[in-house]
Structure formats: structure tokens, C-alpha cells
């Protein structure tokens, strides 16, 4: 009888420890419903490689290749995701409201460099941000979270903090 009591007590304590240790620091227990769309291309490579479009939701991620002069693309990667995946839960609480809608790097000609466009939507927010060869730490953080769910060949290649962008018109 005493052994049974200790076995039950052990399982109760063990399940409590596992449950409390699995919470995401600063994030909800699971991702809130959201859609993040990232559109990326390099001006010099657009003709040959097209553009890449990443569609991330709380339950899936899709990567599309969109040839130049076409609106629809071809899905080249798709994966179901769990709302409990740490990186997805962190994206779901992203706070992009404080960022401007447009960032332009005057050190790079308008017909050169990398273009990034992000659109984030959830039940209470809708935010679009365009970046012309412009580095921002909050965008790098979001892209790193997305890249955690992608195979190496489909990862987004974002700029670095060393990107020169302090030129003036």
C-alpha cells in the first residue's frame, strides 16, 4: 500500500516538473493565430532565380518560388508546424508596430541590392514593412525564428549588422 502511494506521488511530482519546465520563457503556451508573409529577392538575380515568398502561420510554413513577371509561384517546400514550437510561439507575439513601414538604404542604388517585404497579421494587428537592402535587428530576429523551421537550402539570407547604410542623398 505504501509503495503504491509513493509511486503515485512520484508520477504527480514528475508530471508537474515536466509541465513547468516545458513552458516558453516570455511566450504563451501556444502560438496565437497569425500569418507572416516574407517576400525576398535580389535585383541582380531576379531574372534568373525569381523571388522567394515565405508564408508562415501558427500551423504551417510554405516556401514559394515566383519567377519574374509572374504573380503565382510554385510551392517548393511545405511543412506542418505545431503551435507549441518555441520559434512559432515567439513569432506569434512579435511586436512590429514600433517599426516604420519603409526603410531605404541610400548606399545602394534602387535597382540593386536585396529587397525584403514583411506582412504580419493576427486578430488585432496588421503591419507591413518594406526594406531596400536595409538591416534591422528586429527583422533579423524574426528571420532567424523562421529559418529554424526551414532546411538549409530554403533559409532566408538576410543582411548583417555590418551592412553599410549610413549614406545620405
Q: What is the CATH number of domain 34-154?
A: 3.30.1560
Q: What is the residue-level pLDDT of the chain in tens, covering all 169 positions?
A: 444 333 333 333 332 222 223 333 444 456 688 999 999 999 888 888 899 999 999 899 999 999 988 888 999 999 998 877 788 888 877 778 889 999 999 999 988 899 999 999 988 889 999 999 999 999 999 999 999 999 999 999 999 999 998 888 7
Q: Please, what sign has the CA dihedral across residues 95, 153, 149, 71?
A: positive
Amino acid at each position: 500500500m505504501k509503495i503504491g502511494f509513493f509511486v503515485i506521488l512520484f508520477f504527480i511530482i514528475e508530471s508537474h516538473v515536466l509541465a513547468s519546465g516545458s513552458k516558453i520563457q516570455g511566450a504563451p503556451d501556444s502560438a496565437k493565430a497569425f500569418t507572416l508573409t516574407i517576400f525576398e529577392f535580389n535585383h541582380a538575380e531576379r531574372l534568373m532565380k525569381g523571388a522567394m515568398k515565405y508564408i508562415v502561420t501558427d500551423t504551417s510554413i510554405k516556401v514559394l518560388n515566383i519567377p519574374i513577371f509572374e504573380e503565382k509561384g510554385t510551392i517548393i517546400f511545405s511543412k506542418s508546424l505545431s503551435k507549441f514550437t518555441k520559434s512559432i510561439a515567439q513569432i506569434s507575439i512579435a511586436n512590429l508596430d514600433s517599426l516604420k513601414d519603409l526603410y531605404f538604404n541610400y548606399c545602394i542604388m534602387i535597382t540593386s541590392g536585396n529587397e525584403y517585404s514583411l506582412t504580419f497579421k493576427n486578430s488585432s494587428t496588421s503591419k507591413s514593412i518594406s526594406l531596400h537592402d536595409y538591416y534591422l535587428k528586429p527583422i533579423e530576429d524574426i528571420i532567424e525564428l523562421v529559418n529554424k523551421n526551414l532546411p538549409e537550402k530554403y533559409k532566408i539570407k538576410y543582411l548583417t549588422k555590418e551592412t553599410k547604410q549610413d549614406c545620405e542623398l
